[in-house]
C-alpha cells in the first residue's frame, strides 16, 4: 500500500513520535488515546440522528483502530461509516483526552484513498464521478479559473435561466440540481477601495483611507472566490476604512481542505506550499480569512504562516480606528449561526456577536442549536444529502419561527446550504456574512 501520509510535509501534519511512523501505527497511537468515555456522543450530529454506535466518534475510532491493526477489513461498510462523519470536530472540542479526531479521520481517509488503487472487498463504496474529478483538479485546485466563470454565471442569472432550470425539474434530483439551487447571486470584485467600480478579478493591493494602521493579506479561497465576492468586497471596504492596506496575492490558491478531507494528501501539500509562498513574500501583520472552513485549514498548516491567520470578525474586534467610523443604526433582529470550524477549530465564535454590537439598535441573538452542524460541511451536502437535510431541518424551523430579519454566518458553505432552503420556504430572512452587514451600515455602495 502506498503511504499517503508520507507525502505530507510538516506544514500539514505534525508527526506523532513513534518507533515506527507508518500510517497504521500513526492511527493506532492516536486511537489508543480514546478511553471510550462516551462524553462525545451527545455532541455528534450523526449519532444524535442514527443512535448507531458506528456513527459516533467513539465508534468510528474503534473502527479506525480495527482497520489499522488488521482486525477488521477496510470494506465498503467501513467507508460508509467514515464518510458519514461531517468532520465538524465537536467531539474533539469536548474530549477529556484531547484525542485529535480531525487528524484521525483525515489520515483514515488518506488510507481509504490509497486503498482505492486496488479494489475493496466489494464494489459498493462511493466513487467520485468524472465531473467531480475534473472540477476538483481543474477549478478547485486552480481557483483563478473561477474568475473566467463569473461573468458567464452573472449572465446566466440575469437571463433568469437559473430560476427557470430550478422550476423545470430537468436536472431532477441530481447533484447539479443541488448546486444550481444553492448558487447565490454572483457579485463582481471591486477594483477600487473608494469606489464601487467592478472588475473580473481583484486588484493586488487596496490602499487605506485616512491614517495607515498596518498591512494585511486577504485569503480568497476557491468556491468563496466565486460565490462570496460580496463578503470579500465588504472586508476590503471595512479594512480600508479602518486604515489597513489590503493585499490580495494573485498566486494564492485553494486552502486544500476539500482535498485533505477527501484523502488527496499530495494535492493538499502542493496547495499549502503555494499559499505559504504567496503570502510569505509580503510583510503582513495578519492573513485575513472570511470563510471559517478555509481559516481552519490554513491555521493547521503548522508553519509560521499559520500564526498570522485570523478570522475577519476577530481581527476587526481588536482593530483600532473605530472612533472615526459612522455606523447607521439598524432596528432589526440579527440571528447568528456559528459554523463548526469557527467554533471547534478556530475557537472564535464569540467575535461575530461582539462585532455586530457596533451596529446601534441591532438585537444580536444566537440561532438555536448552534452546537450542532447545519449539514453543509464542505461537500457533505452533496455526498450525504439525506443526512444534510435532516441536520438542517431544525435550524430552518427555528428561523421560520423567529422574528429575525437577518441570519449571519461566517462560512460560505453554511450560507449557501441554509439560504437555498430558506428560499424554498419563501422566507424573507436574508443570509449574509456579519462583515457584509456591517459594511452596509457603514454606507458601502454595492
Q: Is 439 helix (H, G, I), strand (E, B) or coil?
A: helix
Please name the residue ranges forming H helices in 70-189.
76-83, 90-94, 101-115, 130-135, 146-158, 161-168, 175-182
Rounded distance, CA 5 to CA 443, Å?
A: 49
Contacts (Cβ under 8 Å, ≥6 apart) of 281: 249
Q: What does pLDDT average to over the chain? A: 87
Rounded distance, CA 192 to CA 48, Å?
A: 48
Strand partners, 183: none
pLDDT of residue 174: 81
pLDDT of residue 21: 65
Query: What fold is seen in the domain 5-115?
Result: Fumarate Reductase Iron-sulfur Protein; Chain B, domain 2 (1.10.1060)
Given a cut of 50, whether residue 328 has pLDDT beyond it is yes
pLDDT of residue 10: 36
Q: Is 115 helix (H, G, I), strand (E, B) or coil?
A: helix
> pLDDT higher for 1 or 332?
332
- CA 175, 178, 401, 430 torsion: positive or negative? positive
Give the count of beta carbons closer than 10 Å to the beta carbon of residue 127: 10
Please name the residue ranges forming H helices in 228-264.
229-241, 257-261
* pTM as predicted: 0.88
CATH class of the domain at 327-441: alpha beta
pLDDT of residue 303: 79
pLDDT of residue 116: 61
Rounded distance, CA 329 to CA 168, Å?
A: 42
> pLDDT higher for 210 or 377?
377
- HSE-CB at 32 with a 13 A cutoff on CA atoms is 10
Q: CA 311: distance to chain centroid?
A: 12
Strands 244-247 and 205-206: antiparallel
Q: Is 247 helix (H, G, I), strand (E, B) or coil?
A: strand
Given a cut of 80, whether residue 36 has pLDDT beyond it is yes
- Between vectors from CA 230 to CA 140 and to CA 356, what angle results, nearest 5°? 120
Would the CATH topology of 5-115 be identical to that of 327-441? Answer: no
Domain coordinates of the chain in residue numbers? Answer: 5-115, 130-182, 205-318, 327-441
Rounded distance, CA 211 to CA 242, Å?
A: 8
Question: What are 135-171's pLDDT values in tens digits?
Answer: 777 788 888 888 888 888 989 889 888 888 888 878 7
CATH architecture of residue range(s) 205-318: 3-Layer(aba) Sandwich (3.40)
E strand or H helix that includes residue 56: none
Question: What are 101-112's pLDDT values in tens digits?
Answer: 999 999 999 888
- Grid cell for residue 106: 483525515
Rounded distance, CA 312 to CA 290, Å?
A: 6
Q: Is 216 helix (H, G, I), strand (E, B) or coil?
A: strand
Strand order through the sheet with 286-289? 205-206, 244-247, 214-219, 286-289, 309-311
Q: How many residues does the chain have?
A: 446
Assign 317 a pLDDT band (cuts: 50, 70, 90): very high
Is residue 191 packed enough to be buried (19+ CB in 10 Å), middle (13-18) or exposed (0-12)? middle
Nearest to 421 by CA among 384, 383, 381: 381
Amino acid at each position: 500500500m502506498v503511504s499517503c501520509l508520507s507525502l505530507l510535509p510538516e506544514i500539514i501534519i505534525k508527526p506523532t513520535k513513534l518507533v515506527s511512523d507508518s500510517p497504521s501505527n500513526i492511527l493506532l497511537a492516536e486511537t489508543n488515546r480514546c478511553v471510550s468515555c462516551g462524553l462525545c456522543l451527545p455532541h455528534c450530529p450523526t449519532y444524535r440522528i442514527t443512535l448507531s454506535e458506528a456513527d459516533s466518534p467513539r465508534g468510528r475510532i474503534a473502527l479506525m483502530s480495527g482497520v489499522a491493526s488488521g482486525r477488521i477489513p477496510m470494506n465498503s461498510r467501513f467507508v460508509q461509516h467514515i464518510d458519514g462523519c461531517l468532520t465538524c470536530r465537536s467531539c474533539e472540542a469536548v474530549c477529556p483526552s484531547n484525542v485529535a479526531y480531525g487528524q484521525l479521520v483525515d489520515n483514515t481517509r488518506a488510507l481509504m484513498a490509497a486503498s482505492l488503487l486496488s479494489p475493496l472487498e466489494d464494489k459498493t463504496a462511493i466513487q467520485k464521478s468524472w465531473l467531480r474529478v475534473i472540477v476538483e483538479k481543474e477549478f478547485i485546485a486552480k481557483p483563478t479559473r473561477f474568475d473566467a466563470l463569473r461573468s458567464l454565471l452573472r449572465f446566466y442569472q440575469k437571463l433568469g435561466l437559473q430560476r427557470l432550470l430550478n422550476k423545470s425539474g430537468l436536472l431532477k434530483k441530481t447533484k447539479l440540481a443541488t448546486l444550481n439551487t444553492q448558487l447565490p447571486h454572483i457579485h463582481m470584485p471591486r477594483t477600487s477601495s473608494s469606489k464601487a467600480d467592478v472588475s473580473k478579478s481583484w486588484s493586488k493591493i487596496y490602499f487605506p483611507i485616512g491614517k495607515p494602521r498596518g498591512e494585511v493579506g486577504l485569503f480568497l479561497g476557491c468556491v468563496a472566490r466565486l460565490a462570496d465576492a460580496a463578503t470579500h468586497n465588504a472586508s476590503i471596504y471595512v479594512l480600508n476604512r479602518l486604515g489597513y492596506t489590503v493585499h490580495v496575492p494573485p498566486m494564492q490558491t485553494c486552502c486544500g481542505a476539500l482535498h485533505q478531507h477527501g484523502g488527496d494528501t499530495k494535492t493538499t501539500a502542493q496547495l499549502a506550499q503555494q499559499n505559504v509562498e504567496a503570502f510569505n513574500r509580503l510583510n503582513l501583520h495578519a492573513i485575513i480569512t472570511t470563510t471559517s472552513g478555509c481559516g481552519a485549514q490554513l491555521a493547521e498548516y503548522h508553519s509560521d504562516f499559520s500564526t498570522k491567520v485570523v478570522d475577519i470578525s476577530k481581527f476587526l474586534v481588536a482593530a483600532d480606528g473605530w472612533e472615526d467610523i459612522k455606523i447607521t443604526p439598524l432596528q432589526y433582529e440579527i440571528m447568528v449561526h456559528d459554523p463548526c470550524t469557527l467554533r471547534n477549530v478556530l475557537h472564535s465564535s464569540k467575535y461575530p456577536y461582539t462585532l455586530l454590537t457596533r451596529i446601534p439598535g441591532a438585537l444580536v441573538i444566537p440561532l438555536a442549536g448552534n452546537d450542532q452542524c447545519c449539514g453543509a460541511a464542505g461537500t457533505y451536502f452533496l455526498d450525504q444529502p439525506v443526512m444534510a437535510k435532516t441536520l438542517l431541518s431544525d435550524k430552518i424551523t427555528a428561523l421560520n419561527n423567529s422574528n429575525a430579519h437577518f441570519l449571519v454566518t461566517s462560512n460560505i458553505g453554511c450560507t449557501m446550504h441554509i439560504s437555498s432552503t430558506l428560499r424554498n420556504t419563501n422566507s424573507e430572512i436574508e443570509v449574509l456574512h456579519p462583515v457584509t452587514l456591517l459594511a452596509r451600515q457603514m454606507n458601502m455602495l454595492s
